[in-house]
Structure 1
Amino acid sequence: MKLDGDVRRRGRPPVRSDEETTRIVLDAARHTFAVEGYAATSTEELARGAGISTKTLYRLFPGKAALFEAMCADRLERLLSAVDLQASDEVDIETGLRAALIACADLALDPEVVALQRMVLQQSATFPELAANFYNNGIARTAKALAGWLRLQVKRKRIAIDDADEVAGMLVGMVASAPQRAAIYGGKPLPSRKQIERRVQTCAALFLDGCRAKSS
């Protein structure tokens, strides 16, 4: 015979951990911010989208700005964790560079990342900390990863450069800046995989070989 207390215990929904709740909040926030924009989104709406109370939301995040920063960092962290900058001795420098630049382009030109960047630009005058956080958590980290790859190639005497950080910024700019601007300001579609690969091939050739005509 089942006791009423046993039935009630088995019928209670399982208690979610803070880690699981945070994941749900971040996923819901990414969708809500993308649809409504930062300024128009309230903490009540964010809590409702995640299916939690505002009290729980404030326990996990001190405010909307902190949640937005965590959401950007989380999304970029997941994308960055998938970036594989090939550094094998068996891979020639051109093949390795192309693979590294494609990995960076895939991150910089990811539709969600571009949508976040568009939103950050729209709100940067009112909320300048959003732009700084987005830069530090995404753009700067992408260039830093590429700079580390470049330093390894210098160490292996495959290339000769003085400032890996500066060169990495230039390369990321060559690969991604123009398509980003076209999408954000011109409403153009993001490049296809074939277009990205062609752009990367050109950038790699410019970096490794230059384009000055040889004197006859």
Structure 2
Amino acid sequence: MGGGAATLERGQAQAQLESDKRRQILEGARSVFMAAGFDGASMGEIAKAAGVSKGTLYVYFDSKEALFEALTVEEKRGLAEALFQLDVDDPDLGSVLTRLGHTYLREMARPEHVTVIRMVIGACEKFPRFGQSFYEAGPACGIGRLAGYLDTQVAAGRLRICDTDLAARHFLHLAQAGLLTRLLFRAGGPVTEDDVEHRIAEAVRVFLAGYGPEA
């Protein structure tokens, strides 16, 4: 038993070391990609930024494309999971959507997030799987989580029976209402807190007007 426990502990320690090294590489890659873009980044620069040798880098990721895909997918998946933590038991649907809308819009407006989206759009012309992976890990995951929450609200009588997948998309589009497009094109000034408050209040109002329970 003692030997087995020791082996297990060594295995767990090795797995943690592997995870930490991978995270270290991804952090280095993030800084290089954000500064140089996908085309301008090199594996040598990434290895230097991550504090690892190129040999170690290639043990974890066999190409710049694989590293870029892993970085963007992991970040988008983590964001979707963090944003779309919705309390199905909260009877105040408007408050739940308002909180979601605020966190969602603030995240969409982060300069780093906008930069990542630009990079993915630019790279997926040559590597279509980047766009597919990014969409599935982020937008599709978020929509699925919100649609699941809306299903519970329909069952509780707080929303009328509807296509909850489409309703989830409607709410998220109402929340950003062209804002992301403006930011992608660097048009207009920075997003203010007043703008966020106004956009989300209107998004919730219009959503509930369309999907609220029948009188």
User: 1:161, CA displacement in angstroms?
Assistant: 3.6
Structure showing the higher helix proportion among its residues: 2
How big is each residue's C-alpha offset from its partner over 1:109-129, in whole Å with a ceiling of 9 and x where there is no partner?
333221100111222322222
2:72–2:134 Cα contact (<8 Å) kept: yes
Q: Counterpart of 1:87 in structure 2: which amino acid?
A: V
User: 1:154, CA displacement in angstroms?
Assistant: 0.7
Aligned counterparts, 1:88-99, within 5 A? 88-89=89-90, 91-99=91-99
- 2:135 counterpart residue number: 135
How does the TM-score come out when normalised to structure 2?
Answer: 0.81
Local SS of the residue matching 1:17: helix
Aligned counterparts, 1:101-116, within 5 A? 101-116=101-116
How does the TM-score come out when normalised to structure 1?
Answer: 0.81
Q: What's the % identity of the aligned pairs?
A: 29
2:153–2:159 Cα contact (<8 Å) kept: yes
Over 3 Å counting, the alpha-carbon distance change for 1:86 and 1:111 in structure 2 is farther
User: 1:27, CA displacement in angstroms?
Assistant: 1.0
- 1:169 counterpart residue number: 169
CA distance in 1, matches of 2:63, 2:189: 34
User: 1:194, CA displacement in angstroms?
Assistant: 2.9
Which 5+ residue runs of structure 1 have no aligned equivalent? Answer: 1-15, 211-216
Deviates more, 1:132-141 or 1:185-194: 185-194
- 1:10 counterpart residue number: none
Backbone CA RMSD of aligned residues: 2.0
The number of residues matched between the two structures is 194
User: 1:24, CA displacement in angstroms?
Assistant: 1.0
Aligned counterparts, 1:139-158, within 5 A? 139-158=139-158
Deviates more, 1:105-114 or 1:66-75: 105-114
Computing the radius of gyration from Cα coordinates, the structure with the larger value is 1
Which 5+ residue runs of structure 2 have no aligned equivalent? Answer: 1-15, 211-215
